[in-house]
């Protein structure tokens, strides 16, 4: 079945360093979403990417969707302690309602 792998599983960075998490699907996706889950909280939607090669920015966050629509990345520039949490990608195949989530990357930011 469809699988979505995410790496790394954990990342510890010093405040001010950059951070990147990568998401890879075994099948072509219709679109991909990114969510952030703060410790003790629930996942909160960040962004959706739909087009091949799409790049979107939200302040210090940059999201990319691969040309083949099978991979995606989230890059955070100059991390802050407020970036702490687990970041999930979620991919959807065309013609289905299901979003398959990646395993998540837990980010810790050391002040």
Partner 1 sequence: DVKVTQSSRYLVKRTGEKVFLECVQDMDHENMFWYRQDPGLGLRLIYFSYDVKMKEKGDIPEGYSVSREKKERFSLILESASTNQTSMYLCASSFNWQRSAGELFFGEGSRLTVL
- Shortest Å distance, C-beta 88 to partner 1: 6
Cα(61)–Cα(40) distance, integer angstroms: 22
Q: Two tokens at 14?
A: 């010093």
Cα(26)–Cα(71) distance, integer angstroms: 9
Cα(11)–Cα(19) distance, integer angstroms: 8
Q: How far is CA 63 from the centre of its chain?
A: 8
Does the footprint of partner 1 cover residue 1 (CB under 8 A)?
Answer: yes
Q: Which bin fits 68, alpha (ψ -120 to 50), beta or left (φ > 0)?
A: alpha
Does the footprint of partner 1 cover residue 35 (CB under 8 A)?
Answer: yes
- Shortest Å distance, C-beta 101 to partner 1: 4
Q: Which is nearer to partner 1, 49 or 109 (CB)?
A: 49
Does the footprint of partner 1 cover residue 65 (CB under 8 A)?
Answer: no
Does the footprint of partner 1 cover residue 101 (CB under 8 A)?
Answer: yes
Q: Which is nearer to partner 1, 42 or 59 (CB)?
A: 42
Q: For binding to partner 1 (CB under 8 A), which residues are involved? A: 1, 6, 9, 31, 33, 35, 41-45, 48, 50, 88, 90, 92, 97-104
């Amino acid at each position: 079945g469809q699988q979505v792998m995410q790496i790394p599983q954990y990342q510890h960075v010093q405040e001010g360093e950059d951070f990147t998490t990568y998401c890879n699907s075994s099948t072509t996706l219709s679109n991909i979403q990114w969510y952030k889950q703060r410790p003790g909280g629930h996942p909160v939607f960040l962004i959706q990417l739909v087009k091949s090669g799409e790049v979107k920015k939200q302040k210090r966050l940059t999201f990319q969707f691969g040309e083949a629509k099978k991979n995606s990345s989230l890059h955070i520039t100059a991390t802050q302690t407020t970036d702490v949490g687990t970041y999930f990608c979620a991919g959807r195949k065309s013609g289905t309602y299901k979003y398959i989530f990646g395993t998540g990357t837990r980010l810790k930011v050391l002040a």
